[in-house]
Amino acid sequence: MANVNIVAMTVNNISLGTDIVDVERIDRLIQKYGDIFLSRIFDAIEITYCQQTAKPANSFAARFAAKEAFAKALGTGIGKNIGWKDISVGKKSSGEPYIILSENGKDKIKNLGFSAMKVSISHTKTLAQAVVILIK
């Protein structure tokens, strides 16, 4: 029974967000709105990285999903409390993705008591998904 209590305590100290995105939808938005769409959602580093990949729409969709997943884990969604550009997705030399937050984003997680986070992103030819865990 002690293990159950430990698991319950751990769950109380995390917040989970997940999102799945249709790659074709993101590709259509890029084709229709181009830089207007990209600069509204992504920062310059994300745009440069994604445009250099073999399938940019897949990379943009994965980062879009990560931003949504982060906002869901935060409990606010994207809107007046946190915006698209408050959340950025970087990539370590090992290939591991990580979340970069604006000062506003840092303030939000600090005020909610979160001290660490993890993100996982993945995509196929047609779907991109992300999972974000915020840890107290």
Name the catalytic one among 32, 55, 67, 72: 72
Closest CA to 118 of 133, 104, 100: 133
| Active-site annotation holds for 136 | no
Closest CA to 76 of 107, 55, 51: 107
Name the catalytic one among 110, 123, 125, 136: 123
d(CA 95, CA 79): 29
| Active-site annotation holds for 72 | yes
Count CB atoms within 10 A of the CB of residue 39.
13
Task: Write the DSSP symbol of residue 85.
Answer: G
d(CA 121, CA 90): 11
Strand ranges, E, within 1-136:
14-22, 87-91, 97-101, 116-123, 127-135
Catalytic positions:
72, 123
